[in-house]
A and B are shown apart, each in its own frame.
Chain A
Amino acid sequence: MKNILYEIIILFALFTESIAAQNTQIKGFENVDASVTSDTTTRNHFALGQFDLFITSQITDKVSFLSETVFLYYNNGFKIGIERAIINYHFKDYFNLSVGKLYSPLGYWNNAFHHGLVLQPTITRPKIVSEGTSGGGLPLEDLGAQLNGDGITKINFGYNLMIGNGIASTPTNDFNESKSMCLNLHAEPIENLKFYISGYADNIPKGTTTIQGVKTTQNINLQILNASIAYRDGKLPIELIGEFYNLRTMEPDSNNSASSNGYFLYFSYKIRKINLIPYVYYDRLLLDTNDPLFFKNNIASIAFGLRYVIHPLSAIKLEYKYSETGLIKYQNRIELQFAIGF
């Protein structure tokens, strides 16, 4: 018994030492929201945000790991989702390999802000880059392999090329032979001013449940094109993010096609002395009536907000949003969010 105890102590010591050598960091994000709305179908309420468990590990100088596990309340119960699980191998600045479940390298917002809402400049995400459960429809995550590089030439040119299972898949299987492809090209010609163009292509077989939960009745070829601009962390006390997405679908069996657009523009001014950031953003989703991937719900909204940054990992946001949607005509909503990282 004594020997077993010694062995356990030695194993524990070795295990903790190896963790220290690997520099493993366990962090988390959480937020609590309160909202008042003019929508009669929803009551004014408090809401617990997603609990995000964020783990990174620098295993060797070239091998690293990142995972993000989210606990959220959905459909009458707490659900656990592995949002990201990525193994990286860093060959050179301009050539790295990532495998696992990644955020699709579409645009800027999708990779810069996701579940850790303390980092996100607004309370709600723009509709086009929202999760399917919140009205979005883009394949924000994918499982596969990605080549990426940065710091190419003086304009800091970079690229991400991802091959994945695509929409018709589970974390362990793919429902069709064809793979999704996503390419993101970006550059920073002026310090902190970034430009992105990206594209995505996937074949979705008949009978697939799409991101929004629509069941497809035919085979669909999906193409997404994007252009984005972002200015953040610069000398000027402003932030600017603008993104445009075009989604084209083609049903080869019936020759039906559709083209939908989504775009948003975010602008803020930093009052540095008091860590207060007033912001405004306009958000638009224009869906083609023939679009087979979405529930038809066009949206136009404008939001005015204030973000008070207590600490880089602690922020309070207050946001007023006016929305016009296909389903509930118009809505006024005031939301308060206390978001932290730890």
Chain B
Amino acid sequence: MIKIRKYFIVPFITLLSGIIICFKTNVPEHTSVAVIISNDNPIAFKDNPSLSAGEVKAYYLRKIKKRWPETNQNILPADRLKTCPEQKLFYSKILNMNANDVDTYFIEKHYESGEELPHKFVSDKEIVDFVGDEIGAIGYVNVNSLSSEAKAKVKTVLLINE
């Protein structure tokens, strides 16, 4: 009887731990996105989330302002090249648009007046580098991508939680 229990208990525990591990890894982590601008852009104080969602939308879409009021620099939106959780969250929570609508919006403005299309990047690191280098840029990255090295270049103006 004891032997049978041992035979059952060992595979049972192994199976259970396997299921738990699989289950844990399949649970999506909550994405938090930081909207970032260059540290040299004086519109917001360092690490002070001082822009509202509406303001971020208006700046990112170059909707009412095409240039930053304080520096008179061209606003340069930075975007991810391919669909990712950060992009989905930013589009749905801040722009209230789907990916097709965002593309159409920028393409129509580009055709009408020659406005630059958003600069597109494959990774958060590239967005951080671009936004850090361009005083007029505005982009979004996963908060986990904001290392101390990144924070030396960019500042967060809005946090978006899923």
Contacts and interface: CB of A to CB of B under 8 A. Distances in A.
B131 to A, nearest CB: 16
A62 B74 CA distance: 8
Interface in B90-126: 96-98, 100-101, 103-105, 107-108, 110-114, 116-117
Contact of A23 (B113, B116, B136): B116
Contact of A151 (B65, B103, B116): B65
Contacts of A25: 117
A61 B73 contact: yes
A112 B108 contact: yes
A90 B68 CA distance: 13
Given A65-B114, A119-B107, A233 B65 contact: no
A54 B111 contact: yes
A92 B117 contact: no
A32 B57 CA distance: 37
A210 B87 CA distance: 51
A309 B105 contact: no
Contact of A150 (B66, B98, B110, B117): B66
B58 to A, nearest CB: 9
A97 to B, nearest CB: 13
A312 B100 CA distance: 6
Nearest to A56: B114
B98 A156 contact: no
B110 A312 contact: no
Interface residues of B, number: 26
B110 A56 contact: yes
A58 B73 CA distance: 13
Contacts of B111: 54, 116, 119
A61 B111 CA distance: 19
Contact of B96 (A54, A112, A235): A235
Nearest to B100: A312
B88 interface: no
Contacts of B110: 56
B65 A93 contact: yes
B64 interface: yes
Contacts of B105: 233
Interface in A253-272: 272
Given A92-B72, A275-B100, A86 B114 contact: yes
Contacts of A150: 64, 66
Interface in B131-159: 136
Interface string B38-52: 000000000000000
A58 B107 contact: no
A214 interface: no
Interface in A18-65: 23, 25, 54, 56, 58, 61-62, 64-65
A272 B98 contact: yes
A175 to B, nearest CB: 29
Q: Among A88, A311, A312, find the residue whose CB has the most chain B CB atoms closer than 10 A.
A: A312
A136 interface: no
A112 B66 CA distance: 18
A20 B137 CA distance: 17
Contacts of A88: 114
Nearest to B64: A151
Contact of B113 (A66, A119, A311): A66
Given A25-B117, A156-B64, A90 B74 contact: yes
A111 interface: yes
A11 interface: no
Contacts of B67: 90, 92-93
Contacts of B66: 90, 93, 150-151
Contacts of B108: 112, 119
17 contacts: A25-B117, A54-B111, A56-B110, A56-B114, A64-B114, A88-B114, A93-B65, A112-B108, A112-B112, A116-B111, A119-B111, A151-B66, A235-B96, A275-B100, A309-B104, A311-B103, A312-B100
